[in-house]
């Protein structure tokens, strides 16, 4: 597991969680499986973007903690805990199916002012026999 990296950036434009997920391309043979993960992926990333990572604990595999954006770095500080203070997604990349029922990816969040980004590598979504998608990081 890699620690999220915070970088200064200029003139980058983020997108909404649904828009970022919509833009992800996967090989045709995995498209149906990826599509089935989209609702969970959308909820999971939206919780991260709203600084509500604790809501993702229920989606995590046993014994793993949810990745969280920290508000302790300059622009990531927010006075209110509402979702209006959320960050956007700059990119979802490196999507790789590592099994028929599992894929990994990286996600980069960007502040609304486009000043800072934070990247999380190697998030893994796995579909269990029940059909539920759980996450490991």
Q: What is the CATH number of the domain that holds 75?
A: 3.10.450
> CA 107, CA 120: separation in Å to the nearest integer?
5
Q: What is the pLDDT of residue 54?
A: 84
Q: What is the pLDDT of residue 59?
A: 87
Q: What predicted TM-score, i.e. pTM, was given to this entire model? A: 0.79
Mean pLDDT of each 10-residue bin along the chain, 137 residues long: 57 80 95 97 92 85 82 46 70 96 95 84 96 93
Q: What is the pLDDT of residue 9?
A: 55
> CA 85, CA 110: separation in Å to the nearest integer?
12
Q: Cβ atoms within 10 A of the Cβ of 83, count? A: 12
Distance of CA 16 to the CA centre of its chain: 11
Q: Which domain holds residue 83?
A: 5-136
Q: What is the pLDDT of residue 36?
A: 97
> 3-state class of 91 per DSSP?
strand
> CA 45, CA 107: separation in Å to the nearest integer?
9
Tally of domains in the chain: 1
Which residues lie closer than 8 Å to 129 by C-beta, 6 or more apart?
none
Length of the chain in terms of residues written: 137
Q: State the DSSP H helix or E strand holding residue 89, giving kind and residue range, or none if neither.
A: strand 88-99
* Distance spanning both ends of the chain, measured CA to CA: 6
């Amino acid at each position: 597991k890699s620690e999220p990296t915070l970088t200064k950036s200029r003139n980058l434009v983020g997108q909404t969680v649904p828009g970022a997920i919509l833009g992800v391309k996967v090989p045709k043979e995995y498209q149906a499986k990826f599509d089935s993960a989209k609702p969970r992926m959308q909820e999971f990333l939206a919780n991260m973007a709203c600084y509500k990572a604790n809501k993702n604990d229920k989606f995590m595999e046993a014994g793993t903690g949810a990745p969280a954006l920290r508000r302790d770095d300059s622009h990531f500080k927010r006075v209110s805990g509402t979702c209006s203070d959320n960050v956007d997604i700059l990119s979802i990349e490196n999507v790789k199916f590592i099994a028929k029922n599992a894929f990994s990816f990286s996600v980069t969040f960007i502040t609304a002012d486009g000043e800072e980004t934070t990247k999380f590598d190697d998030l893994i979504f796995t579909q269990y026999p029940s059909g539920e998608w759980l996450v490991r990081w």
